[in-house]
């Protein structure tokens, strides 16, 4: 066997051993990463099957993980979205007797955001929400009921000094315990109101009769809530 062949075989053997070692190390790291990921996931998504006593109580809204928005149709073409950046509320939840649950919610007109400053300022004017005289929008429930897999909350919605009863269908997600042992509950709901019922009358029709701004306003709510203990909300994550 020539010296050249010996060198070739030796080099090939070393390379084969190196590749084998790297594949084995990669598999070990991959398995370790998978186990770490499983542990991290398990620590975040804990058992959702909490007892009624664990889930019953007063919840506050975690604003950093919640959204309160609305959509109106412009000239019959597209829905233009907006939202309130500042809001607060509580949910007194009784899973054993839903009718004894209650909701109270406030959104602040000053925080309205449609991504256009001029439009935001117009919405805060007398043409729309009239911030100077009516700084907040409120909702207070009068009754709750189970409906299929979801719920319905009925209550008094007050906008611009006008109060009307509305119904909001919603679903509950959770409750769960997070990685810190805090009980959290997700709420998603959507309903439609007529803005003119609340004295928000600005806007004309096009020559075709289509409203420049639709009377119907879609309200969308996604709330992550945190259970309070002894009347004090735990620290939000």
Whose structure tokens read 């997700």? Answer: 186
Residues 6+ apart with CB under 8 A from 94: 56, 100, 101
Report DSSP letters for 161-188, one per residue: TEEEEEEEEEEEEEEEE-TTS-EEEEEE
pLDDT at 110: 98
pLDDT-based confidence at 229, cuts 50/70/90?
confident
**Backbone φ, ψ for residue 122 (5° rounding):** -65, -40
Rg for the chain, CA atoms, rounded: 28
The tokens for 121 are 């300022």
Residues 19-60 have pLDDT tens digits of 444 444 445 444 444 444 344 433 344 445 789 999 999 999
pLDDT at 2: 53
The tokens for 201 are 């009358």
What distance in Å separates the CA atoms of residue 104 and residue 227, rounded to the nearest whole number? Answer: 15
Q: Is there a contact between 164 and 154 (Cβ–Cβ < 8 Å)?
A: no
Q: Is there a contact between 234 and 71 (Cβ–Cβ < 8 Å)?
A: no
Residues 138-194 have pLDDT tens digits of 999 999 999 998 999 999 999 999 999 999 999 999 999 999 999 999 999 999 999
pLDDT at 6: 46
pLDDT at 49: 78
What distance in Å separates the CA atoms of residue 14 and residue 12, rounded to the nearest whole number? Answer: 5
pLDDT at 123: 98
Whose structure tokens read 């959507």? Answer: 190
């Amino acid at each position: 066997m020539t010296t050249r062949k010996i060198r070739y075989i030796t080099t090939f053997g070393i390379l084969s051993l190196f590749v084998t070692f790297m594949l084995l190390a990669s598999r070990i790291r991959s398995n370790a990463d998978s186990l770490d990921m499983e542990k991290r996931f398990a620590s975040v998504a804990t058992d959702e099957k909490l007892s009624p006593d664990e889930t019953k109580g007063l919840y506050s809204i975690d604003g950093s993980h919640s959204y309160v928005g609305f959509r109106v149709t412009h000239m019959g073409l597209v829905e233009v979205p907006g939202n309130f950046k500042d809001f607060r509320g509580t949910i007194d939840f009784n899973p054993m007797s839903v009718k004894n649950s209650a909701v109270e919610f406030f959104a602040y007109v000053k925080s309205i955001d449609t991504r256009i400053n001029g439009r935001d300022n117009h919405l805060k004017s007398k043409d729309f929400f009239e911030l100077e005289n009516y700084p907040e929008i409120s909702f207070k429930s009068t009754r709750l009921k189970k409906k299929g897999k979801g719920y319905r909350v009925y209550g008094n919605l007050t906008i611009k000094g006008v109060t009307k009863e509305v119904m909001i269908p919603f679903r509950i997600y959770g409750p769960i315990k997070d990685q810190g042992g805090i009980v959290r509950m997700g709420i998603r709901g959507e309903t439609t109101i007529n803005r003119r019922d609340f004295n928000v009358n600005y806007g004309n029709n096009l020559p075709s009769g289509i409203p420049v701004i639709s009377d119907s306003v879609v309200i969308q709510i996604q709330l992550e809530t945190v259970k309070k203990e002894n009347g004090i909300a735990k620290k939000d994550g």
